Amino acid sequence: MTAKELRIMYVNFFKERGHKEIASASLLPENDPTVLFTMAGMHPLVPYLLGEKHPEGKRLTDVQKCIRTEDIDEVGDDMHLIFFEMLGNWSLGDYFKEESIAMSYEFLTECLRIPSQRLAVTVFGGDETAPPDLEAERIWRAQGLQPEQIRRLGRDGNWWGPAGQTGPCGPDTEIFYDMGTPGCGPDCGPGCNCGKYVEIWNNVFLQYNKTADGSFTELVQKNVDTGMGLERVLTIFNGKTNVYETELFLPVMTRLEEFLSQRGKEMPQKNRRVICEHIRAVSFILGDPKKIAPSNTEQGYILRRLIRRMIRLLRQAELGSEHLCELAEIVIGQYGEAYPELGENRNFILEQLQKEYARFSKTLDEGLKKASRYMENMEKGGMLDGESAFKLYDTYGFPIELTAELAREKACDVDTEGFYRKFREHQEKSRQGAAGKFAGGLADHSRQTARLHTATHLLNGALRAVLGEEISQRGSNITPQRLRFDFSFGRKVTAEELARVEAIVNQAIDKKIDVVMEEMTSGEAYAAGAVGVFTDKYGERVKVYTIPGYSKEICGGPHARNTGELGSFRIIKEEASSAGVRRIKAVIEG
Ligand code: SER
Q: By C-alpha distance, which of 144, 95, 107, 139 is closest to 9?
A: 107
DSSP summary character for residue 514: B
Q: Which of 80, 169, 172 to mutate to test the pocket of ligand 1 (most atoms within 8 A of CB)?
A: 172
CA of 278 to the centre of ligand 1 (A): 22
Q: Kind and range of the H or E element at 572?
A: strand 568-578
Q: Is 46 in the pocket of ligand 1 (CB under 6 A)?
A: no
Q: Where are the alpha helices (DSSP H) in 42-170?
A: 46-49, 97-106, 134-143, 155-158
| Alpha carbon distance 447, 112 (integer Å) | 46
pLDDT at 217: 87
Q: Is 225 in the pocket of ligand 1 (CB under 6 A)?
A: yes
Q: Which of 225, 228, 232, 442 to mutate to test the pocket of ligand 1 (most atoms within 8 A of CB)?
A: 225
Question: What distances in angstroms separate CA 153 from CA 127, 411, 437, one per listed residue?
Answer: 10, 38, 33
> For the residues of 439-505, what is the DSSP string, one character each?
G-STT---HHHHHHHHHHHHHHHHHHHHH-TT--EEEEEE-SS-EEEEEE-SSPPPHHHHHHHHHHH
pLDDT at 586: 95
Give the number of the atom of ligand 1 that is nearest the alpha carbon of residue 66: 4
| Alpha carbon distance 187, 299 (integer Å) | 39
Are 119 and 177 in contact by the 8 Å Cβ rule? The answer is yes
| Alpha carbon distance 53, 58 (integer Å) | 8
CA of 226 to the centre of ligand 1 (A): 6
Say how many Å lie between the first and final Cα of the chain, rounded: 59
CA of 161 to the centre of ligand 1 (A): 8
∠ Cα 557 558 563 (to 5°)? 105
Q: By C-alpha distance, which of 407, 429, 430, 432 is closest to 418?
A: 407
Q: By C-alpha distance, which of 63, 65, 37 is closest to 303?
A: 37
Give the number of the atom of ligand 1 that is nearest the alpha carbon of residue 41: 6
Q: Is 89 in the pocket of ligand 1 (CB under 6 A)?
A: no
pLDDT at 484: 93
Whole-structure pTM value: 0.78
Give the number of the atom of ligand 1 that is nearest the alpha carbon of residue 86: 6
Which amino acid is present at 236? I
Q: Which long-range contacts (CB under 8 A, 24 or more apart) does 513-516 make?
A: 513/547, 513/548, 513/549, 513/550, 513/562, 513/563, 513/564, 514/561, 514/562, 515/454, 515/545, 515/546, 515/547, 515/559, 515/560, 515/561, 515/562, 515/563, 516/545, 516/546, 516/547, 516/548
Give the number of the atom of ligand 1 that is nearest the alpha carbon of residue 88: 6
Question: Judging by DSSP bridges, how do beta strands 83-91 and 216-229 pair with one another?
Answer: antiparallel
Residue nearest to ligand 1 atom 4, measured at CA: 40
Residues facing 485 on adjacent strands: 476, 584
pLDDT at 470: 83
pLDDT at 296: 80
| Alpha carbon distance 157, 565 (integer Å) | 44
CA of 405 to the centre of ligand 1 (A): 32
Q: Which of 46, 61, 160, 205 to mutate to test the pocket of ligand 1 (most atoms within 8 A of CB)?
A: 160
Give the number of the atom of ligand 1 that is nearest the alpha carbon of residue 174: 7
pLDDT at 534: 60
Q: By C-alpha distance, which of 150, 148, 138 is closest to 174?
A: 150
Q: Is 41 in the pocket of ligand 1 (CB under 6 A)?
A: yes
Residues facing 67 on adjacent strands: 83
- List CB contacts of 584: < 8 A, sequence separation 6 or more: 459, 463, 484, 485, 487, 493, 498, 571, 573, 574
Question: Angle, nearest 10°, between helix axes 230-237 and 3-15?
Answer: 110
Question: Judging by DSSP bridges, how do beta strands 541-547 and 516-521 pair with one another?
Answer: antiparallel
What is the three-class DSSP state of 405? helix
Q: Is 40 in the pocket of ligand 1 (CB under 6 A)?
A: yes
Q: Is 170 in the pocket of ligand 1 (CB under 6 A)?
A: no
What is the three-class DSSP state of 301? helix
- List CB contacts of 351: < 8 A, sequence separation 6 or more: none
| Alpha carbon distance 188, 206 (integer Å) | 28
CB atoms under 10 Å from CB of 58, counted, come to 18
Q: Is 393 in the pocket of ligand 1 (CB under 6 A)?
A: no
pLDDT at 20: 97
∠ Cα 188 189 194 (to 5°)? 55
Q: Is 160 in the pocket of ligand 1 (CB under 6 A)?
A: yes
Residue length of the chain: 590
Q: Is 202 in the pocket of ligand 1 (CB under 6 A)?
A: yes
CA of 250 to the centre of ligand 1 (A): 27
Rg (Cα) of the chain, in Å, rounded? 25
Residue nearest to ligand 1 atom 6, measured at CA: 227
CA of 168 to the centre of ligand 1 (A): 11
Q: Which of 68, 71, 84, 86 to mutate to test the pocket of ligand 1 (most atoms within 8 A of CB)?
A: 86
Residues facing 478 on adjacent strands: 483
CA of 288 to the centre of ligand 1 (A): 22
Q: Classify residue 488 as left (phi > 0), alpha (psi -120 to 50) or beta.
A: beta
Q: Is the peptide bond before 340 cis (omega within 30 degrees of 0)?
A: no
Question: Judging by DSSP bridges, how do beta strands 119-124 and 150-153 pair with one another?
Answer: parallel
Q: By C-alpha distance, which of 225, 198, 273, 196 is closest to 39?
A: 225
CA of 200 to the centre of ligand 1 (A): 11
| Alpha carbon distance 565, 585 (integer Å) | 20
Give the number of the atom of ligand 1 that is nearest the alpha carbon of residue 163: 1
Q: Which of 223, 224, 226, 228 to mutate to test the pocket of ligand 1 (most atoms within 8 A of CB)?
A: 226
CB atoms under 10 Å from CB of 442, counted, come to 29
pLDDT at 427: 67
pLDDT at 536: 54
CA of 457 to the centre of ligand 1 (A): 31
Q: Kind and range of the H or E element at 85?
A: strand 83-91
| Alpha carbon distance 175, 123 (integer Å) | 9
∠ Cα 53 57 61 (to 5°)? 115
Question: Angle, nearest 10°, between helix axes 269-286 and 250-263?
Answer: 120
Q: Is 276 in the pocket of ligand 1 (CB under 6 A)?
A: no
Residues 249, 252, 254, 257, CA torsion sign: negative
Q: What is the pLDDT along the chain (590 residues), one digit of tens a residue?
A: 999 999 999 999 999 999 999 999 999 987 666 788 999 999 999 889 988 999 999 999 999 999 998 878 789 999 999 999 999 999 999 999 999 999 999 999 999 999 999 999 999 998 877 789 999 999 999 999 999 999 999 988 899 988 877 889 999 999 999 999 999 998 899 999 888 999 999 999 999 888 878 788 889 899 999 999 999 999 999 999 999 999 999 999 999 999 999 999 999 999 999 999 999 999 999 999 888 999 887 889 889 999 999 999 999 999 999 999 999 999 999 999 999 999 999 999 999 999 999 999 988 989 999 999 999 888 888 899 999 999 999 889 898 888 988 898 888 999 988 898 888 777 664 444 333 333 334 445 677 888 999 999 999 999 999 999 888 888 888 887 899 999 989 899 999 999 999 999 999 999 999 999 988 887 788 778 888 766 555 567 888 999 999 999 988 778 999 999 998 999 999 999 887 889 999 999 87
